[in-house]
Amino acid sequence: MHKPSIGLRRLIQTGVFVGALTASVAGAAADTIKVGILHSLSGTMAISETTLKDAMLMLIDEQNKKGGLLGKQLEPVIVDPASNWPLFAEKARELISKDKVSAVFGCWTSVSRKSVLPVFEELNGMLFYPVQYEGEESSRNVFYTGAAPNQQAIPAVEYLMSEDGGGATRFALLGTDYVYPRTTNKILRAFLNAKGVADEDIMEEYTPFGHSDWQTIVSRVKAFASEGKKTAVVSTINGDANVPFYKELANQGVKAEDLPVVAFSVGEEELAGIDTAPLVGHLAAWNYFMSVETPENAEFIKKWHAFTKDENRVTNDPMEAHYIGFKMWVQAVEQAGTTDVDAVRQAMYGQTVTSLTGTKAVMNVNHHLSKPVLIGEVQDDGQFETVWKTDGPVIGDAWSDFIPESKKLTANWTYPWVCGNCEKPKF
């Protein structure tokens, strides 16, 4: 055929060759412990997940400089599931069966986690999942290092209802249309009802992924807020859709002191794309902010800037989750003396790591962490300033107490329960 297609073909051939070369080099270094990194490096989610891949590489690099683990070097195995949910499952299978990794750190969206879950359970792998999520799950093969709803959503709404938060009694729940916002809002609605907020004081609205025209919704929220009671917005809007949403808020003159927005998926990384001056005072709830002043955090930020060779790179909550998860895994492997998944899992329970916020994070038997909850206000430099935090760590709750059918369930992976969703112990 014509010239360009030959060029293309050669390009592909070269790519395959280089790929094969890296694979063989990797195979040659025999005595390493392999760690899988399963984050999208292309597609829609690359915006959030690429940073986590870099964070993992930094943590592994640092561990190797300290002499590795069990006398061996750690070797990262990076795959790119390309924001494609079925591909996540395929890549997970590849990591466990072909690359024989000892643990996998990965996934962002709940749908990708749901997609890899059967693979990890079938092949008895170990996944560390670093993102805040909707709960209602506890798998033997997954450690959830992000926040469960009771570590993020519930405290945030309690804050909005408090005097300092503005005493809101009317809520607009805005979200992207997929499993995380819908489940979280279901829990929140039950929670608000329990607190005496009637259904007519709750507005629930969903938008497609990447929604960019927020004019109608922002005007409707303003109208909703003008109906007599102090109103607040709870946003589970995901990823890219946030920037146009906040721009529209700013342009329509929505001030945080009149109508505060608390977001669960907006961190430092997402704010990097917006001029935050008009957003000062809007809120986010996380377990970590880059602005937290502790020696651990200062050290971490310094290393991150050195590793990425970029003084402007920000850190965020899922990075801290990976930091905690990785440290715990290292400690558990050292304690078990092996990387065998079953042995390491047993050693994981009760592991403590000093988190970047300076508190002791503990891995519980339901595979969720105990961490403090922070609420921060957006500042004009794109950072958050903590305005409220819990007195101590909060235990992550796999099954929400506000959904009747979940309330009965217990997740406990130690004897005699050994179960992620049981009403009574198995043994």
Partner 1 sequence: MCQHHAYRLSRLFTIISLIIFLAALSVINGSYALATPAERDAALQLLTEKSSKKRGAGIDALAASGDPAAAPILAAMASGELYFQKTDKRVVIAKKQKDGYAVVDPISNEALGVLPSKGLRKIRVNNRLRRQIRGVLGGLNLSHPDAEKRLAAASGLQKSPDPALRPALKKAFAAEADKDVKAAMAMALAVIDSKPEAAAEDRLAAIELLTDSDATEARIILTQLASDTEKDANVRAAATVALDTVEDRLFYYQTLGSIFQGLSLGSVLLLAAIGLAITFGVMGVINMAHGEMVMIGAYVTFMIQEVFRSVAPEYFGLSLALAVPAAFLASGGLGVLMERSVIRWLYGRPLETLLATWGISLILQQAVRTIFGPTNREVGNPEWMSGAVELTGGVLLTYNRIWIIVFALAVLAGVWALIRFTSMGLEMRAVTQNRRMANSMGIRSGRVDALTFGLGSGVAGMAGVALSQVDNVSPNLGQAYIIDSFMVVVFGGVGNLWGTLVGAFSLGIVNKFLEPVSGAVLGKIIVLVAIILFIQKRPRGLFALKGRAVEN
Residue 219 interacts with partner 1 (CB under 8 A): yes or no = yes
Residue 385 interacts with partner 1 (CB under 8 A): yes or no = yes
What span, in angstroms and rounded, lies between the C-alpha atoms of 307 and 302? 9
Residue 383 interacts with partner 1 (CB under 8 A): yes or no = no
Structure-block tokens of residue 72:
């061996």
Residue 250 interacts with partner 1 (CB under 8 A): yes or no = yes
- Quick one: residue 413, left, alpha or beta (phi over 0 = left, psi -120 to 50 = alpha)? alpha
- Give the Å distances, CA to CA, from 80 to 21, 87, 201: 18, 9, 43
Contact mark string toward partner 1, 273..292, x via CB under 8 A: xxx--x-xx-----------
Sole window of 44-52, 88-96, 186-194, 360-368 interacting with partner 1 (rule: CB under 8 A): 44-52
What span, in angstroms and rounded, lies between the C-alpha atoms of 345 and 414? 10
Q: Are 326 and 357 in contact (CB under 8 A)?
A: no
Contact mark string toward partner 1, 168..207, x via CB under 8 A: ---------x---------------------------xxx
Residue 124 interacts with partner 1 (CB under 8 A): yes or no = no
Q: How far is the CB of 94 from partner 1 (least distance, A)?
A: 21
Alpha carbon of residue 104 to chain centroid? 15
Q: Give the list of residues 6+ apart from residue 418 with CB closer than 8 angstroms, or none.
A: 412, 425, 426, 427
Sole window of 57-65, 87-95, 377-385, 418-426 interacting with partner 1 (rule: CB under 8 A): 377-385
Q: Which one of residues 226, 299, 358, 407 is an interface residue with partner 1 (CB under 8 A)?
A: 226
**HSE (CB half, 13 Å, CA atoms) of 377?**
17
Q: Which one of residues 34, 186, 247, 322 is an interface residue with partner 1 (CB under 8 A)?
A: 247
What span, in angstroms and rounded, lies between the C-alpha atoms of 366 and 397? 8
Contacts to partner 1 by CB under 8 A = 1-2, 4-5, 8, 41-44, 46-47, 50-51, 163-166, 177, 205-208, 210-213, 215-217, 219-220, 222-223, 225-228, 240, 243-244, 247-248, 250-253, 256-258, 260, 269-270, 272-275, 278, 280-281, 377, 379-380, 385, 387
